[in-house]
Structure 1
Amino acid sequence: MAENNICAIWATPATTLPTDRDGLTCDSPRVGGRYFISGSAAAVIRAIDDRLKVRLTTWLVQQRAHGEDCPEITTGTIDEVKGWREPSVFDRADGILKYLSNRAISIGSRFQFSIEWEAGGERFETPLKDAQRTYFELLAHSDSCRSEELEFLLGYLSDQGLVERHGVNTLEQWCALTFSGYARLETLEQNVSPSSKGFVAMWFDPSMKAARDEGIKPAIRLSGYEPVVIDEKEHAGRIDDEIVSEIRRSRFVVADFTHGEDGARGGVYYEVGFAHGLGIPAILTCRSDKVAELHFDTRQYNHIVWKSPEELRTKLAKRISAVIGDGPLVAPTR
């Protein structure tokens, strides 16, 4: 295998793409698709362990799910994922179901995959066969290091009747979602609110007016939702009843963690925590000069990092459409 046709993270087959930047751009099924990694980050990658590589892979998968076609890895990204908690085995199994569903072209589609990469067989060469690519993508979407973990998760899904498997314990296998598997995916989506509102949690300081009025609010409207802003409500230690009611009525929360010299805004953290407790998705943002000061509790989550209201508007609108889906309100064409 040519040296420049390997994934910088996993040393698995990848397609290197041209770039004039200091780093590497490649398409790697082992991490679920395309990414750019800076030269300094690539040097750090060589010394990290497999579990940290898994977290970095998960970060890439999440970034693409949030609308980033080619996420960029820096040394700061590596530091960020070091603080992530390990996902539960149930979340990892659900990741497989979501992957199969997203790839299926019809109900009951079968997906062949080959595990010979770790079985001492012939090493894969680029371009990969479909079964080889699917194997690497299954690893990426299930937070797995190696085939034994993937086999365990597929075994659980099969025992629960959520997937059908063929060729267990062989190098060439296939799997498919069952009716119960689709039902499980429906259950995961049942808590989605039909609301057309997007609640805004942020620091209500005059210096943030442009970010609110030219960034966050128009981004929410562009995505087909109505922004809910309660900027006269300051609270310490508990959430005001009106804020609680508005969060309950919202489809999602946009939370910006930018703050002033007096430190983090406790109210924003409370509001995001409350939304999480209700199963309401929260999209997190932060101005670039304050990212290093994010509290540990939210640092593990993906934030939209912005420098200008215009950048915030573009990135946030794209993220809302990718994660939440376009809303029911008529919005102008982007």
Structure 2
Amino acid sequence: MKFKIEKYFRIFLNEEFEKLSIECPICKFKAFKTESGKKGDCFFIVCPRCGEYEISETLNAELKSKEPDLMLSSYLRRLYEFRKDDEPIGPLTTYNIDSLKKDAERSKPEYSEKIYLLLKAIEHIQEYTGEDIIVWNSSGSESNFDKAKFELFRAYFLAMTYSSRGKELEYLFHSLRELGYLQYSNVMLNLQEGFPNYINITPYGYKYLEEIRNKERFETNKVFIAMAFKPENDNIYKTIKQVLNKLGYDAVRVDKEHYTGYIIDFILAEIKESRFVVAEITDKNLNVFFEFSYALGHKIPVIPLLKKEKDEKDPFEKIPFDIKQFNTIVYENEEQLKEKLRDRIRNLFGRYKV
């Protein structure tokens, strides 16, 4: 999911913003209060640092006299920015705030992880590979748009790296450059916090991100299920999901998930983040074959499934020649599928261990 910068520009560049803005009760940045929340005493806040969240009036009043909680702010922003749907976090209430603070404290990253998180955050806002990200206007213009863009990017990077101040963020930027993962251009030393005008990820930076993602994939319990979406396949899906769940894996099928943007982007992202793919190829569905091929192209293991119909001599006759080369599970009923799939996963990947 891309950084929701357009939404933030629309809000924070609105001429009415100064009149309607409030202080974020969590980080104390200038934020925007929107319509009432789902519950009677709740409302929504859009904050450049915390993201979007729902909070109760009671908790809001309680936090007004408190110091900024930047750890909680960073935790909420990470939850919001990388979730599949576009819904705000929350509601935050007096009943769950202590638990959230403990979760935030446990999620605090070490230096090496902060380096990775900053590089990942930069990639997250790039529209395409190699795009220069403007963090300050090189012409020296001080238009409202340029100021807002700098402040929004800065707040975003502060939150995503759990940085408490600009100097810490500056150090992380310089660390990425020293490591060869980031390059600066048009550096103007008199700028706020020593930031450059443009930043860009180097080839070494992209390679580093890919290596970390591959490592994360081998540690994930996510499994993508590629199959035709039709009622006749519902029981097959339930059987696959049951096997995966019993072995500690989380089944992902796109029609069962919430997402924003283009569905193809969501599908490809889910496949790349999966430990392996289970592909039901009986229906010769073109989308399934595409997902099958995409997974193989990214070196993600695929377990093909093929149903043998009653009185069918050779079920492989109905699938393309290239697919026949793979070690496919052939089954006649759901019980047989359950047993064969369970044994295959155990032998290849084992039970997922948290």
- SS of the residue corresponding to residue 37 of structure 1 reads strand
The CA distance in 2 between the partners of 1:30 and 1:195, in whole Å, is 28
1:157 counterpart = 2:176: yes
Which deviations, in whole Å up to 9, do the C-alpha atoms of 1:79-138 show, x marking residues without a partner? 123323231122122111111111101222222335xxxxxxx9x989962222111111
Kindly tell me: are residues 26 and 127 of structure 1, through their superposed partners in 2, closer, same or farther at Cα, counting changes over 3 Å?
A: farther
Deviates more, 1:147-156 or 1:53-62: 53-62
The CA distance in 2 between the partners of 1:193 and 1:167, in whole Å, is 42
Percentage of matched positions with identical amino acids: 20
- SS of the residue corresponding to residue 2 of structure 1 reads helix
Kindly tell me: are residues 5 and 196 of structure 1, through their superposed partners in 2, closer, same or farther at Cα, counting changes over 3 Å?
A: closer
User: Equivalent of 2:165, from 116, 127, 146?
Assistant: 146
User: Equivalent of 1:176, from 182, 200, 210?
Assistant: 200
1:42 counterpart = 2:45: no
Partner of 1:190: 214
- SS of the residue corresponding to residue 183 of structure 2 reads strand
Deviation at 1:61, TM superposition (A): 1.9
Which deviations, in whole Å up to 9, do the C-alpha atoms of 1:41-93 show, x marking residues without a partner? 2123334444x432343233224413252111223442123323231122122
User: Equivalent of 1:54, from 64, 71, 76?
Assistant: 71
- Which AA in structure 1 matches 2:201? L
- Which AA in structure 2 matches 1:185? L
- Conserved 8 A contact 1:40-1:75: yes
- Which AA in structure 2 matches 1:325? E
Larger RCO (CA under 8 A, 6+ residues apart): 1
Partner of 1:107: 129
- SS of the residue corresponding to residue 93 of structure 1 reads helix
The CA distance in 2 between the partners of 1:12 and 1:19, in whole Å, is 20
TM-score, normalization by structure 2: 0.52
Kindly tell me: are residues 141 and 229 of structure 1, through their superposed partners in 2, closer, same or farther at Cα, counting changes over 3 Å?
A: closer
- RMSD value over aligned CA atoms? 4.3
The CA distance in 2 between the partners of 1:126 and 1:325, in whole Å, is 34
The CA distance in 2 between the partners of 1:140 and 1:131, in whole Å, is 14
1:9 counterpart = 2:26: yes
- SS of the residue corresponding to residue 66 of structure 1 reads coil
Kindly tell me: are residues 90 and 45 of structure 1, through their superposed partners in 2, closer, same or farther at Cα, counting changes over 3 Å?
A: farther
- Conserved 8 A contact 1:57-1:143: yes
The CA distance in 2 between the partners of 1:144 and 1:195, in whole Å, is 27
The CA distance in 1 between the partners of 2:78 and 2:25, in whole Å, is 16
The CA distance in 2 between the partners of 1:45 and 1:322, in whole Å, is 40
- Conserved 8 A contact 2:73-2:159: no
Kindly tell me: are residues 125 and 180 of structure 1, through their superposed partners in 2, closer, same or farther at Cα, counting changes over 3 Å?
A: same
For structure 1, the residue ranges without an aligned partner over 5 or more in a row are 115-121, 200-217, 232-245, 255-282, 284-312
Aligned pairs, how many?
227
- Conserved 8 A contact 1:29-1:136: yes
Spell out the pairing of 1:206-245 with structure 2 (5 A cutoff). Answer: 221=237, 226-228=241-243
- Which AA in structure 2 matches 1:107? T
- Conserved 8 A contact 1:99-1:141: yes
- Conserved 8 A contact 2:70-2:162: no
The CA distance in 2 between the partners of 1:57 and 1:194, in whole Å, is 24
Deviation at 1:322, TM superposition (A): 9.4
Partner of 1:87: 109
- Conserved 8 A contact 2:244-2:250: no
TM-score, normalization by structure 1: 0.55
Deviation at 1:19, TM superposition (A): 1.8
Which deviations, in whole Å up to 9, do the C-alpha atoms of 1:15-36 show, x marking residues without a partner? 33222642331222212x3221
Deviation at 1:328, TM superposition (A): 5.6
- SS of the residue corresponding to residue 49 of structure 2 reads helix
